[in-house]
Amino acid sequence: MIHPTAIIEDGATLGAGCIVHAHAHITRHCVLGDAVVVHPFAVIGGDPQDLGFDTARASGVTVGARTVLREYVTINRATRPGGVTRVGSDCFLMASSHVAHDGQVGNNVILANAALLAGHVEVGDRAFLGGGAGIHQFCRIGEGAMVSGLSRITRDIAPFIMAAERDEVAGLNVVGLRRRGLPPATMTEIKGAYRDVFASTGNLRVLANKALASGAYPSAEAQTFLGFFAGGKRGFIRPRSDAAASGADAAT
């Protein structure tokens, strides 16, 4: 259903069952999956906020099936020629949240009101970003991570971590892990991997690689957690020194 006052530019592609509410704007650079809902005054596919961008450059935005984009959501198209800013399926972007150019947002992600992703940010599946959280460009937010409202994040957040304040690990997102129905053995592995990485001082990449090589953590989830530290450009958030050893237990 398309409201009469919505703007859908020639060249945009909308899947079956999409709902575009009054005054929403879908540019010609967009591909929306089935049953996407776009609320009033959202602007999807606008030019990137990059002073050096050539507006004649071909790039786009894709939004996965069943994703809901609430009022005043903005998703900018990519800066790279042929590039795509992606938001996955079954996501919920609350009012005034923003996904900047070249962002890559996974499936089942929630951005609460006014959560802001700068350019080239990657967000893993099932992550949750609280209201007003700001994410620096090129950061990675791992699968199943939870970022508290008004956080300022300038470094990568490992999978299944709770983040708060300025680049601070607040423990494991144990509630989120339990809701996934993970077996107790897997939960124990993830907690052990967390301790191996964060309870000691030193280079987190080295500590994670050592834990990975030990063979003590065979589950897919623990491997995902430890493998995350092999990539990225921004470094990683850490716990406060007085909380590092107890973070996994404090989250239970």
pTM to 2 decimals? 0.94
The answer to whether 102 is a known catalytic residue is: yes
Active-site entry in 21, 39, 98, 101? 101
- Per-residue pLDDT tens digits of the chain, which is 252 residues long: 999 999 999 999 999 999 999 999 999 999 999 999 999 999 999 999 999 999 999 999 999 999 999 999 999 999 999 999 999 999 999 999 999 999 999 999 999 999 999 999 999 999 999 999 999 999 999 999 999 999 999 999 999 999 999 999 999 999 999 999 999 999 999 999 999 999 988 999 999 999 999 999 999 999 999 999 999 999 999 998 754 444 444 443
Task: To the nearest 10°, report the CA torsion of 20, 21, 22, 24.
Answer: -50
The answer to whether 120 is a known catalytic residue is: no
125: helix, strand or coil? coil
Task: To the nearest 10°, report the CA torsion of 110, 93, 147, 223.
Answer: 40
Active-site entry in 45, 64, 88, 119? 119
Contact 176, 190 (CB under 8 A): no
Measured in whole angstroms, the distance separating CA 129 from the mean position of its chain's CA atoms is 7
Active-site entry in 39, 64, 102, 124? 102
CA distances for 129 relative to 32, 98, 111, 212, angstroms:
22, 12, 5, 28
What's the half-sphere exposure (Cβ side, CA atoms, 13 Å) at 17? 9
Domain covering 7-138, topology? UDP N-Acetylglucosamine Acyltransferase; domain 1 (2.160.10)
What are the extents of the domains in the chain?
7-138, 181-250
CA distances for 31 relative to 69, 80, 206, 239, angstroms:
14, 17, 41, 40
The answer to whether 101 is a known catalytic residue is: yes
